[in-house]
Structures are given as structure tokens and as C-alpha cells.
Amino acid sequence: MNNKKYYTQYEVSLHNTVDDIWVSYLGKVYDLTPLIKEHAGDVLLKPIVEMAGKDISHWFNSKTRDIRTHVDPLTGCVKYYTPNGRFLHVPPPWPCSDWPTDFGRPWWSETRYEVGVLSGKTRRIRIVNTLTSQEQTIEVCTEESLHAILQRYLSYNAHAASYTWKHNGETLDMDKTLGDNGIRDEDEDFYELRMDSERFTQAIHLHFNDDLTEF
């Protein structure tokens, strides 16, 4: 079972204030709130705060995982490329005696801010409670197991673990993903057929087991 925590870009976007700031880059999700609090008042935080809740992969070289560089047309020197403005831990473009260099690793190389993995692909799935006839459509990560999807669904049904989860009459393996359970992601098919995928969302049916388990 994959125990990694996956997030959708929408979930990242909800953390978009100076007191609660997440970003994603290069496939990972980071909570930079402690960084912002530690350096409160520093003007070099502005470009980071402006990108709260967004993906900033375009700031980085995907191979080196460092900030992108370019050749300065005036000096011919290789410098960090920061079109949104210079930010924290990026050295100034010229020699500077008052720039502190004792901060250790730059924040983008720190793993302590990492909270999870950004989903490479999300999909919508209908979950139908056969006991109450209620249904919800939720966005999930394709990499998630059914157990992780169950955790997402708990806000709608606290007793979700008391149900057998089925698709087309077949009991699902909760340790596997939707795809591994044979629930295909048909978005590409619908795109090629020019069909609205949201009108044909695949469904999981929950069958009550008479066991009021609650998380």
C-alpha cells in the first residue's frame, strides 16, 4: 500500500494567505508558513507570498532542482533567473557585503517544509451510498489507494469504513488505486469523442455492513 500523501492542485490553492502558505514545485507540496514566520518583515518574501497556493515549478531547473539561471546580457555572468523578483536566499546580482550567507541550505532545498506529493493527474468519481441513496462526486488523485479515497469521503459519511466498496458489482481492493481495481480513467477517450466527461463519471457503490465503525 502506498502511504504517500497526495494533494490536488486545488487543495494546495486553499493555502493562499501569509499565515497559511503552501506552494508546489517539481512534483512536491511544501508548507512554507514556518519560513514566512521566521523571516517576517523581509522584503525578499514578497515574490513567495505572491505565489501562495500556486505551482512555482517554472522557477526551477528540473534536472538540478535549483533556481533557473541565465547569462546576464550586461556582465556575461551566469546568474539566477528570477523574473518575479529576487526572493529569499537568492544572492544579489552584484557583490554585496551585507548579504548574510550563514543561512545554511536555501529554503527550496529543505525537506522539512515538504508535506506531500502533488498528484500528476486527478479524476472525479461518484460515490453512491446504496443505503441512503445519497451520492457525492469528489476529486481524487489517481495515485491514491481506495483507503486514501475513503479518508477524503469521511467528511460526507463518518461511517464510510462500515461499507463494502464495489464497482460494477465487484468488491474493490482498498489497498489498490482506482486504475488497479479496473476503474479506468476515461478522460482521454471522452476528449477524443468530444464528450463531456463530467456527465459520465464512473461510480463506486457503498453497501452497508451493519457495523458502525467511525473514524
Please give the Cα distance from 212 to 139 (Å, whole number). 25
Residue 192 pLDDT exceeds 80: no
Q: Which residue has the higher pLDDT, 187 or 168?
A: 168
| 148 CB burial (10 A radius; 0-12, 13-18, 19+) | buried
| Assigned domain for 187 exists | yes
Lowest-confidence range among 2-6, 114-118, 159-163?
2-6
Is residue 77 domain-resident?
yes
* 1 located within any domain: no
How confident is the model over 26-62, as pLDDT tens digits? Answer: 999 999 999 999 999 999 999 999 999 999 999 999 9
What CATH number is given to the structural domain containing 157? 3.10.20.90
Return the CATH number at 56: 3.10.120.10
Are both 113 and 131 inside the same structural domain?
Answer: no
**Statement to judge: residues 31 and 114 lie in one domain:** yes
pLDDT for residue 102: 84
State the pLDDT at residue 14.
98
Instruction: Indicate the pLDDT class of residue 152, thresholds 50, 70 and 90.
Output: very high
Using 50, 70 and 90 to split pLDDT, how confident is the model at 189? low
My answer on whether 114 and 126 are in the same domain is no
